[in-house]
Amino acid sequence: MDIATIIGITGGFLMLLIAVMLEGSSPMSFINLLATVVVVGGATMAVLARYPVASFVQGTVGGIRSAIYYKATSQIDLIDKLSEIADTMRRHGPIAIEQVKVDDPFIRRGVRMIADGFTAEALRASLERERDLDYERVHHGHVVWKAFGDAAPGLGMVGTLIGLVSMFGHMDDPKKIGPGMAIALLTTLYGAVFANVLCLPIADKLAHRAEEEGTNRSLIIEALVMIRDGRNPATIRDELASYLPLHSRAQLKLAA
């Protein structure tokens, strides 16, 4: 579970609540059903209109699940595990590598393909296809949540116009001017909060996750192809070090 996403989003709403209380207002005065319908409901309908229902559900539900439940994998740990597989392959042959305990299903699939005798070209093509399809799924979640972030402020402005029209239409009744102005301001607030505290952070987290996962899987593919070709484990380790920043490369050498 990615605790940073939970802390960031929850903390963002909490900071806004604290700001309201420090100002001396009641949090209940910032709750408005019309503003919620215009911003949240309107943004949802606007994004839904852009995609088929299945793609919309996959992007929203799958996206937030990926953002919250994603666990980052250390590249050094990946290289250590792949080096262990390479050493087993060199010592005992391709059948023995299936006995190495591997948690990553992507690595497990590649190991099974090596044990089954796939060529290096077939191995690379199959794993690259899986990597690219997984990237597209995560990237789709990024696009959908980015669309929410883009639509929410615009719908907030629409709500502001609704509130202003209501206010100017009741200038003869002073009691209705205040509620109209409140709606005008709250919808803008809701749009900004919904976009900047929830939607855009999730979209950026998914973009970061897609990039990180793509890099890790490229590392795995290169390693498995070299393992399939029977390369020396030390050589494989040195080749994979190029994926690491310089300070991490030093740690890798110490761990070797």
Question: Residues 46-73: pLDDT tens digits?
Answer: 999 999 999 999 999 999 998 888 877 8
What pLDDT score was predicted for residue 179?
75
Please give the pLDDT value at position 153: 95
- pLDDT score recorded for residue 51: 94
What DSSP line would sit under 168-220, residue for residue? HHTTT-HHHHHHHHHHHHHHHHHHHHIIIIIIHHHHHHHHHHHHHHHHHHHHH
CA dihedral 74, 80, 84, 85 (to 10 degrees): 40
Domain positions in the chain: 3-74+125-255
% of the chain residues with pLDDT over 90: 64
Q: What DSSP letter does each residue of 35-96 carry, written as one string?
A: HHIIIIIHHHHHHHTTS-HHHHHIIIIIHHHHHHH-----HHHHHHHHHHHHHHHHHH-GGG
Q: Which residues make Cβ contacts (< 8 Å) with residue 236, sequence separation at least 6?
A: 82, 83, 86, 223, 226, 227
Q: Please tell me the distance from the alpha carbon of residue 218 to that of residue 204, in angstroms, as a whole number.
A: 21
SS3 9: helix
Question: Which residue, 204, 151, 214, 189, is CA-closest to 5?
Answer: 204
Amino acid 43 reads: A
Among 57-66, 108-117, 166-175, 223-232, the range scoring the smallest mean pLDDT is: 166-175
Predicted confidence band of residue 196 (pLDDT cuts 50, 70, 90) = very high
In this predicted structure, the answer to whether residue 224 has a pLDDT above a threshold of 70 is yes
In the block, which residue shows the tokens 């408005």?
32
- pLDDT at residue 150 in the model: 96
- Placement of tokens 């979640």 in the chain: 141
pLDDT for position 23:
87
**Do the Cβ atoms of 56 and 144 come closer than 8 Å?**
yes
Q: What is the pLDDT of residue 184?
A: 86
Question: Crossing angle for the helix pair 3-23 and 200-228, nearest 10 degrees?
Answer: 170
0.95 exceeded by the pTM? Answer: no
The C-alpha atoms of residue 190 and residue 42 are separated, in whole angstroms, by 12
Are 227 and 82 in contact, with CB atoms under 8 Å apart? Answer: yes
2-6, 117-121, 128-132, 174-178, range with the lowest pLDDT = 174-178
Tell me the per-residue pLDDT of 97-155, one tens digit each, with 9 for 90 and over. 988 899 899 999 999 999 999 999 999 999 999 999 999 999 999 999 999 999 999 99
Q: Where are the alpha helices (DSSP H) in 93-199?
A: 105-115, 120-169, 174-193
Q: Model confidence at 253, in pLDDT bands (50, 70, 90)?
A: low
